[in-house]
């Protein structure tokens, strides 16, 4: 089954074509980073307008890359939530309209399920069951995964997501947008142990997260410290260490709680090298395995949507002609796919 995937939930226009027998056939991505840089964050109206401009040309490019015509496709998948409502509407309207015009089945995809399944784009794929850490600018969640669609939420952030805390702290430090990767780069030049940040909510039971306090702690530390480059790097290192340690501690608890030895990590923050090193050490101690998508598929992309859509289309799911989007949508509301348990 060949499926066209469309991702427009925030500030990246991602288009891909996935074949359930041959794998990924085409992948096109346009990032709006430059568009939003002057504003220090995503402007929803500008994001929606840019998706309108870019989606159809990228679909054309993906078809050319795969050397396919629309008549050779078997379905269309598109992100329907969660995300920015205007951006979601662009992809949903285009995707559903193309499916209707091409006489193809369509399916709406949950953005976070796309991230969760992204490691299945790789040759070395995780087997069910496993624990998933979904960690990005909009979400930080620990999920028990028994099969596709069979999800139990174990814990989530009660305020800022980890990626959001990275971006906000980077802005406090005067780093350009997008701040998270720039803060991580600066942290690589910092000295460990020069500053000590708290590890929030690790001194009590449970698997929930809280990162907003780290941003406040960083602001107070910056205000009372010299502003030279080495000091900024040291503070960035202390902040990153605190976030990574917190994520690792909670992952360890989740693995102990479930008894699983497999961990999937996805979302933009999963590209953080310090996090990967610490999780590799954690899983090595318990003879476990950790899985990631390749770096280009850690952030939002069409490949994960095409894959998730293909699996759900294969299971018989179909979208009605009505256009629906879900800016807020718990992943636990999804229906299980029995064939993949």
Binding site for substrate, by residue number, is 134-138, 167, 180, 272
173 exposure class (CB count in 10 Å sphere: 0-12, 13-18, 19+): buried
**Residue 267 in 3-state DSSP?**
coil
C-alpha span between 309 and 318 (Å, rounded): 10
Q: Residue 51 gets which letter from DSSP? A: H
C-alpha span between 263 and 339 (Å, rounded): 21
C-alpha span between 171 and 81 (Å, rounded): 27
Pairing of strands 2-7, 75-81: parallel
Q: Which residues are annotated as a binding site?
A: 111, 115, 134-138, 167, 180, 272, 300
C-alpha span between 29 and 294 (Å, rounded): 15
C-alpha span between 313 and 74 (Å, rounded): 9
Q: Which residues are annotated as a binding site for Fe cation?
A: 111, 115, 300
Pairing of strands 289-291, 262-266: parallel
Residues 6+ apart with CB under 8 A from 324: 80, 92, 108
What six digits make up the tokens of 228?
Answer: 């030279």
Placement of tokens 């971006």 in the chain:
167
Question: Hey, CA dihedral for 45, 47, 48, 50, is it positive or negative?
Answer: positive
C-alpha span between 131 and 138 (Å, rounded): 19
């Amino acid at each position: 089954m060949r499926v066209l995937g469309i991702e427009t939930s925030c500030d990246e226009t991602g288009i891909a074509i996935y074949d359930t027998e041959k794998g990924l056939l085409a992948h096109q991505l346009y990032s709006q980073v430059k568009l939003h840089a002057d504003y220090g964050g995503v402007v929803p109206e500008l994001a929606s307008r840019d998706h309108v401009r870019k989606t159809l040309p990228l679909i054309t490019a993906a078809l050319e890359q795969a050397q396919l015509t629309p008549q050779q496709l078997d379905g269309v998948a598109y992100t329907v939530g969660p995300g920015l409502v205007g951006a979601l509407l662009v992809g949903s309207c285009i995707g559903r309209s193309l499916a209707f015009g091409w006489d193809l089945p369509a399916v709406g995809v949950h953005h976070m399920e796309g991230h969760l399944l992204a490691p299945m784009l790789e040759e070395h794929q995780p087997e069910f069951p496993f624990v998933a850490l979904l960690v990005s600018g909009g979400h930080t969640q620990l999920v028990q995964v028994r099969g596709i669609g069979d999800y139990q939420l174990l814990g989530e952030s009660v305020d800022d997501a980890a990626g959001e805390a990275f971006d906000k702290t980077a802005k406090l430090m005067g780093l350009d947008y997008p701040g998270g990767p720039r803060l991580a780069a600066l942290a690589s030049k910092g000295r460990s142990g020069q500053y000590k940040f708290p590890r929030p909510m690790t001194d009590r039971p449970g698997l929930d997260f809280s990162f907003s306090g780290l941003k406040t702690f960083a602001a107070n530390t910056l205000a009372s410290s010299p502003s030279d480059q080495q000091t900024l790097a040291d503070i960035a290192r202390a902040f990153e260490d605190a976030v990574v340690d917190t994520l690792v501690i909670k992952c360890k608890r989740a693995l102990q709680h479930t008894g699983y030895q497999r961990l999937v990590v996805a979302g933009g923050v999963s590209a953080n090298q310090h996090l990967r090193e610490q999780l590799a050490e954690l899983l090595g101690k318990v003879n476990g395995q950790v899985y990631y998508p390749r770096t280009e598929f850690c952030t939002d992309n069409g490949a994960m949507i095409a894959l998730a859509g293909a699996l759900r289309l294969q299971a018989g799911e179909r979208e009605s002609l009505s256009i629906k989007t879900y800016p807020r949508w718990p992943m636990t509301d999804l229906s299980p796919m029995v064939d993949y348990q």
